[in-house]
Structure 1
Amino acid sequence: MSTSATPTPSDPRPQPPAEPAPEDCCRSGCMPCVFDLYSEALERYEQALAGWLARHLDAHST
Structure 2
Amino acid sequence: MSEEHDDSRPLPPEPPQEGECCEDGCGEACVWEQYHEARAEYARALAEWQARQAPEPAG
Give the TM interval when normalised to the shorter protein. Answer: 0.7 to 0.9
Q: CA-atom RMSD, angstroms?
A: 1.7
TM-score (norm 2): 0.73
Greater RCO, CA 8 A, separation 6+? 1
The 5-angstrom pairing of residues 1-62 of structure 1 reads 10-32=6-28, 33-59=30-56, 62=58
Could you list the runs of 5+ residues in structure 1 that have no partner in the other structure? 1-8
Pairs aligned (count): 53
**Runs (4+) of structure 1 moved beyond 2 Å?**
none
Percent of residue pairs identical: 42
Q: Between Structure 1 and Structure 2, whose CA radius of gyration is higher?
A: 2
Could you list the runs of 5+ residues in structure 2 that have no partner in the other structure? none
